[in-house]
Chain A
Amino acid sequence: MRKKSFTKRSYQAYLYLLPWFIGLVVLQLVPFVSSFVYSFNDYTVGSKLDFVGLANYVKLFTKDKDFWNSLKVTILFALYTVPGKVILALLVAMFLNRNIRGINAVRTLYYIPSLFGGSVAIALLWRLMFMDNGVVNAMLSKLGFGSISFLGDTKLALPTICLLEIWQFGSSMVMLLAALKNVPKELYEAADIDGSGKITKFFHITLPQISPILFFAILNQNIQELQNFTSPYTITGGGPMKSTNVLGILLYKEGFSYFKMGYASAISWIEFAIILVFTLVLFGSSKFWVHYADE
């Protein structure tokens, strides 16, 4: 009976998936393949495709200094922001996971910065605050420190932008807090009876219990941060000395300033490859630390 109903249903499933399927083909797969084709061509806006084989990739890897720099910057950007954001979110979530009066208000207020992810308004605010004569430097000099060129120093500009991203840890925190609240109390009580310490409890109870959410948070943040464009583009425009010139900016410049669509497509494919590698590594590692309750 049950089996029969399922086979009958299967035809309808495709109907529900139809919008997605059309989108998949028309707006994802075809463009995906097209940009792959473009990447092997010399192609400017308005011109015909001109097949050049691997030339774009060869140029990227062997001649374009900016590319290696952007690759490094993009990866650093993700390596600073993702752990920074997730660890901070987890710490704050664990701190808040207790009997606090007005916890809802606290949770809400902490979430506010996350509302502005990718917002131009906030990126401009950051730029204004961290300028050489901005308010942050004014505060530092009031406290007796020298002025720091946050956006002018090649070593500080990227961390300063990353700080904006990390500041927006609230969304991950709310998710993790919900996950923490959901860990069955009995588990801790049982551990208390066994006399386990705080650290043991964290690694044996808390972490496995919240691991699916943690994984989801890391995965998402990682994909987003590797694609970030607005913050570095608005705050520093990729400078100084290209120290914040993420692949997104390089691609935008090559594609929309110099009209080298073929070359830009090659960059987009490299960006895709990096995201793929990061994601696969995460998925690979998930076997060892992500525990699904019902699987």
Chain B
Amino acid sequence: MISLKSKTKKLDEPIKDKAGFLDYLIILIIGIILLYPIIWMFMAAFKSNEEIFGTVALFPNKWLFKNFVEGWKGSAGYTYTRFFANTALMVFPTTILTLISSTLVAYGFARFEFPFKKLLFTILLAMMMLPNTVVIIPRYMLYNRFQWIDSYMPFYAPALLCCNSFFPYMLIQFLRGIPRDLDESAYIDGCGTFKTLIEILLPLMKPALFSAGLFQFLWTYNDYFNSLIFVNSVRKYPISLAVRMSLDSESVVQWGKVMAMACVAVLPLMILFFAAQKYFVEGIATSGMKN
């Protein structure tokens, strides 16, 4: 404590804002509570059923690495290699399409005046409140007519057509915070509107785009309801359905195996998050700055 205080003085910072020992302890305790389930899941992935049930020990007595080997085999015939490839094929195009369409739409709303703008913007916002469930049945019929069922088109199409209003809304909020004078002057200098978007605004939107991209990635990756309805054959299962399938009801559930695959399923999210967290948190911070 004393050394902390003396340091503070050296740094010439206000003492009352400086966190003390107790504060760090609280931070640590909250952190442990928050992360314990994840750590436990990781450890459970190496345990047998006997160890998972009824013992509190965090570390397994015997490390069963075979849980991963067995789990990775998936449900006969299709391994998790396949499920990961499927997930990538589903998630990446969806994310990229979302970013492109949201940028265009956000630009249209944030930088132009046009008839019915207020009305259209209200509709855009209203669509954010439209539950997925209210349109899922008719959408299913529609996709079916296009023969898109059991493909990833039901994910690509709404992304391309900017159906999740959250993303354009987020970008609009962000664009509003960028002074109009910038692109206004570029426009007057003879820049086309598209060129203005690409050359002036896009670089500035980088953090928001990263953030939006990450959100869409996470949501599509984690999505269960839509996958459940639109993806039929195991051959095309993304991770979410594969993990649920590992809890197969006609054999004794080896929870260690299930947890091993649950770990594997969340691992890409963790890696992505740690790799991109700087941009991510920055993105949230900057977009959060504006109303």
Contact = CB atoms under 8 A, between A and B. Distances in A.
Interface of A: 1-2, 5-7, 9-17, 19-20, 22-24, 26-28, 30-32, 34-35, 38, 92, 95-96, 98-101, 104, 106-113, 115-122, 124-126, 128-129, 131, 133-135, 138-139, 142, 167, 170-171, 174-176, 178-179, 181-182, 212-213, 220, 223, 226-227, 229-230, 233-234, 247-248, 251-252, 255-256, 261, 264-265, 268-269, 271-272, 275-276, 279, 292-295
Listed residue (B38, B133, B263) with the most chain A CB atoms within 10 angstroms of its CB: B133
Contacts of B277: 108, 111
B56 interface: yes
A106 B27 contact: yes
B241 to A, nearest CB: 8
B142 to A, nearest CB: 7
A116 B266 contact: yes
A269 B34 contact: no
Contacts of A24: 123, 127, 161, 163
B68 interface: no
16 contacts: A5-B188, A26-B142, A108-B274, A109-B35, A110-B31, A112-B38, A116-B266, A117-B222, A118-B222, A118-B223, A121-B243, A124-B243, A129-B37, A133-B54, A174-B281, A247-B133
A112 B273 contact: yes
Contacts of A125: 37, 40-41, 259, 262
Q: Which 7 A-B pairs have the closest CB atoms?
A: A23-B161, A16-B108, A31-B138, A13-B112, A121-B262, A178-B285, A34-B138
B137 A124 contact: no
A11 B113 CA distance: 9
Interface string B269-291: 11001100100010011101101
B285 A248 contact: no
A20 B112 contact: no
A13 B108 contact: yes
Interface stretch (B16-24, B59-67, B81-89): B16-24
B201 to A, nearest CB: 12
Contacts of B115: 10
B262 A122 contact: yes
Contacts of A134: 53
A175 B283 CA distance: 10
